[in-house]
Amino acid sequence: MDFDLGRSPPAAQTALRFVEEFAHRVRTAVVGPATRSDPVAWLVRTHRNIHRRGDGKVLRRGYEVAERMHRGQTRKSGEPYISHPLAVAQILAELGMDTTTLVAALLHDTVEDTSYTMAQLRTDFGAEVAVLVDGVTKFEKVFWGEAAEVETIRKMIVAAGVDVRVLIVKLADRLHNMRTIEARSIASKARIARATQDVLIPLCDRLGVQSIKRELEDSVLAALEPEAHTVLRSWVAHRPEWTAYTDEFIKRASSVMRASKIGARVVSRPHHLYSIWNDTFAKGYDTPYELPRIAIIVSGAENDCYMALGVVHSSWRPVPGRFKDFIASPKNNLYRSLHTTVIGPDARAIEVLIRTESMQRNAEYGIAAAYRFPRRGPGAHSARGRSRRVRARGDVELGAEHLEWLRRLVEWQRAAIDPVRFLESLRCDLAEGQVHVFVAGTRLLLPANSTPVDVAYAVGADVGDRCVAATVNGQLAFLSSPLADGDVVEIHTAGPEETKGPDGKPIGPSREWLSFVRTPHAQLQIERRLGLGARAGADPESAPPVPFPARVRIGRAAISMELRRRERGLASDMPLHTLAAELGYPDVESLLVAVADHVVSAEEIAGRLIEQVDSGSIEAAVAAAALPRP
């Protein structure tokens, strides 16, 4: 709810609130009878409202293929199945995603649930759409057993390393499933909601797409805590005192900004249901409570944010310990803003957020802002260029540094053979609690309670393996000491000739380190150095070996993921048969197990397969159809 500095407050706000609520109902309404004959019309209109050059023809073609392939299929609710991919595409259109992403959304279930093949999709719509669809296509339980769900997540992470839009399509897919979850059984609702809460909401937070994250959290709350959700909905609908107080403070803050000659608009930023629940019911309180909250969005540069902060603090008394500067130290999900809490009129506390227009866009849309507000210039329309270095208009450029966490996930998933261990590590890495620490002038973002050993392995595997001591803020600290936000860490390593540390113990990691390190990267490096099994702290003599069929699947998946990363694909086993014979393996399964056991790397196998095709050898001629050129 915005307040225009030049309008009469109560009337303008009431009218604007009505218009916004009406617009939201129109955006989220089911397509009415007037457009049932053309179900894609609303999707095309929404897309072109944001991207004037959006290709409506390819959207219609994508819908026609999806509708034909899903014809006769229904959802749990009894609706025609095509209603789901159409709704997912609509969510992405409202988010502001590009045409390619919308086409992938329309087709995202065709390969998984119909006779439509990935080769057909690639021929009909191109390699870029195929990468997105393949990234969200689930593994079948009939082949992968209980590991299917975890391996699907692993596959999605790897595909997102090639194109981050894979994750955005998956989030929109889950959002619509959560919107329609009432058609499911109680047990199914709980299972889907918990999976959403454990993995997809943290991923959504990492991407910074708060507009989707808020609704996902509220949907999960409705599924897992239905009574609390009902109470909160009723409470939020009847909080006139809170709204009146916020409106009055917005008037005063707008006046103060105008008097200080700071161009700004002041908006209300109420908390969503899950946030209120988390601050009240989850902590044992009997009644909901919410601090009033506003945002001051300045029209100038980020320096104006600090000027606005000074004006706010000079006008109202700040609450000690409630100031946070996410502009100087941004979160790893692109979020930048100043946070403070002041004592407003009637001695009531009120939260104040201060940010620029660009920061506001990134706070709402996160990584999707790069597609909703694309920069214009040479190569601006190149989708491949966007996927390799995503940009957003304004004073924030979204590049590889903002997706460093995704690169780390892609790297360490290859070493995590055990799918259960992989999921545990993923949940740890995506945990909400995080700390910023500094080492050698570089800022690192690590999970809460990380230790100097985590820092050492974040710097490099060799640094971690030869770490013998650490100082934190200039003081010698235990290697197991949990780090706090803002700590300055210095890692001390042994020299190349040293074999024992200051305590007389051999140089290198010990089993004890596995009991306190927090990052998956550190855990995997320590296990690899110690030669342990797949599970943390496992005894190599007692740990059960990974079954042979599972190792075959893991090896095949690793090669497929590496080929996909290089924008190639494997359509049959013929190239693998040829390569296995060349490398001296009796059969393909033996080669795949060697990959799973890290005897030979997936990168090497993928490189040899591609080299066969590109060299034009006799064996490559047979394999040419299996490895199409990009």
Residues labelled as active-site residues: 112-113
CB of 454 closer than 8 Å to CB of 522: yes
> Which residue pairs from 11-17 have beta carbons closer than 8 angstroms and sit at least 24 positions apart in sequence?
13/247
CB of 223 closer than 8 Å to CB of 181: yes
Q: Which two tokens stand for residue 106?
A: 């329309």
**Phi-psi sector, 484: left (phi>0), alpha (psi -120 to 50), beta:** beta
Residue partners of 513: CB distance under 8 A and separation at least 6: 453, 479, 522, 526
CB of 220 closer than 8 Å to CB of 228: no
Candidates 103, 121, 95; CA nearest to 57 is: 103
**Secondary structure (H, E, C), 177-228:** HHHCHHHCCHHHHHHHHHHHHHHHHHHHHHHCCHHHHHHHHHHHHHHHCHHH
Query: Residue 528 and residue 547: Cα distance in Å, rounded?
Result: 19
Phi then psi for 179, rounded to 5 degrees? -65, -30
- Which amino acid, one-letter code, is at 338? L
CB of 171 closer than 8 Å to CB of 212: yes
Q: Which two tokens stand for residue 167?
A: 């994750």
Q: Which two tokens stand for residue 363?
A: 């706070």
